[in-house]
Amino acid sequence: MSTAPTKLTLDEWDARYAELRRSGLLETFYGGPLRRHVLQESDFRLRHLRFDNSAASLRLWNFLLTENERLAQARAQGNKIVGTMKDLGTVPVMAYSLAGVRAFYPDGAWWTPCLMECSDGLLQQAETFGIDASFCPVRAMLSAFLNGEHFPRPDLLICSTGAVCDDFSAIAQRLEKMGFPIVWWEMPRRRDPEPGETACALPGGSKAPQIQVECVREELARLGGMLGELAGQPLDSDTLAEGIRQANDVRRLLAALRLLVYGSPGAPLPALEMLVAEMLAIHFCSDRGEASGVLRALLAEAQERLRRGQCIIPEEAVRVFWVNPVADLRAMNLLEEWGGRICGSDYMFGHALELIPEDLPPLEALARTALADPMVGSTLDRARRIVADCRAYRAEAVVVSRIPGASHCAREGAIIRQLVREELGLPSIELEVPPICDALLPTLSSRVQGLLETARARRS
């Protein structure tokens, strides 16, 4: 079934799917042709994307695009559904430690307007509830809760507060007022330990005062009690330790995949599929076992392509470090069409990629990992980490992709770019990618191509 790597349109995938089936493709329970997501779920954006042609990537897309369906099945089988908001990678580790509990991020509705090319009307509906375009696309979540069409109503809804952006905080509060009870937990803004204060090392290399770790640990213990009650079994230390081991298995697979794809001279897998793969880290796309299977298949495909010396993105492509997820997935295709490739990323959930320490009491380990969230500390901390990753992955240019309306840090682009310039001398740009970027193509194209040209000129 192995074939030379290439990118296919949705139309071309019809023939590829038929070919894979003829060659005996074994599919998972959520398998099928990609086109059905357009026909059955109106995921119209797929018609404008270019997809990797491997069976492993088909499985990845089918896994991503069937999440709502799979959650509904899980509920029908008696599973409890937890909606966990904003922490991107912490509470799901606890939830999936318990049998019969699934956690998902309603925040994921962020991408629904893109996938459905705004035919869902979620952004417009949010405006009727007073949440207009001055908020980032996460406002789609509010309408999705109210119309009940994009994810099931959770049995328990948990949201972090404190070191959280204004957009999310305002929308979640509005949600609660509209009849969706929320369990809030406090995430303090991470700060450097003061002289004489006990400091705690966090995964990823940062530090926080022990008192902040204790605060988060106590909050997580409170949530653990509630999750245990929901599941009808206590979330004790052994259960959580096993959950952490399983979460780390997923994180290890992802780390191996990122190292291989971002570190290789030519890329064996495209940026778009890698973005989707990275997202599996935050809540395993509602099925931890399958998330491992999906990542394992991608890793095997990438290894096989490299063994055969076949890359989907050639070695000459400019190595770009990308900051923030793009509201329009098409932007990842465009970067490669214009001569770039992703060699490293900070999609705002770096802490979900870090291994959770297994040699500490489990709640302490999880609390430390939660505090390593790049979005709960200063932007300068985040910029330092980006600079270190740019070095490690030999980046030649940096793109800071702004999210329309996002309030998390109005100055992040300037801060990150300045440090990148001072420390590495790399060219960078800041651009904004809306949920559908087609109207901005001329501007995006000239800005990105200008950046790539500058990076290429520096090679000589």
Footprint on this chain of ligand SF4 (rule: CB under 6 A): 136, 138, 165, 167-168, 375, 403, 406-408
**What minimum distance in Å lies between the beta carbon of 92 and ligand SF4?**
17
If the CB atoms of residues 125 and 407 are measured against ligand SF4, the closer one turns out to be 407
Structure tokens at 90: 């912490």
If the CB atoms of residues 83 and 266 are measured against ligand SF4, the closer one turns out to be 83
User: Closest Cα to residue 344, out of 411, 442, 424, 404?
Assistant: 424
Backbone φ and ψ of 397, nearest 5°? -160, 160
If the CB atoms of residues 235 and 375 are measured against ligand SF4, the closer one turns out to be 375
If the CB atoms of residues 247 and 406 are measured against ligand SF4, the closer one turns out to be 406
**What minimum distance in Å lies between the beta carbon of 348 and ligand SF4?**
6
Strands 199-201 and 207-209: antiparallel
User: Closest Cα to residue 85, out of 283, 352, 325, 289?
Assistant: 283
Alpha helices (runs of H) in 286-411, residue ranges in sequence order: 288-307, 330-337, 362-371, 379-392
Say how far apart CA 335 and CA 9 lie, in whole Å. Answer: 16
**What minimum distance in Å lies between the beta carbon of 399 and ligand SF4?**
16
3-class SS at 288? helix
**What minimum distance in Å lies between the beta carbon of 412 and ligand SF4?**
9
Strands 207-209 and 318-323: unpaired
If the CB atoms of residues 137 and 340 are measured against ligand SF4, the closer one turns out to be 137
If the CB atoms of residues 165 and 226 are measured against ligand SF4, the closer one turns out to be 165
Backbone φ and ψ of 117, nearest 5°? 45, 45
If the CB atoms of residues 324 and 369 are measured against ligand SF4, the closer one turns out to be 324
Structure tokens at 161: 């507060």
DSSP one-letter string for 169-197: HHHHHHHHHTT---EEEEEPPP-PPPTTS
Say how far apart CA 453 and CA 373 lie, in whole Å. Answer: 33
**What minimum distance in Å lies between the beta carbon of 81 and ligand SF4?**
21
**What minimum distance in Å lies between the beta carbon of 188 and ligand SF4?**
17
**What minimum distance in Å lies between the beta carbon of 167 and ligand SF4?**
4
Alpha helices (runs of H) in 42-128, residue ranges in sequence order: 55-65, 67-76, 91-95, 112-115, 122-128
Structure tokens at 456: 């290429």
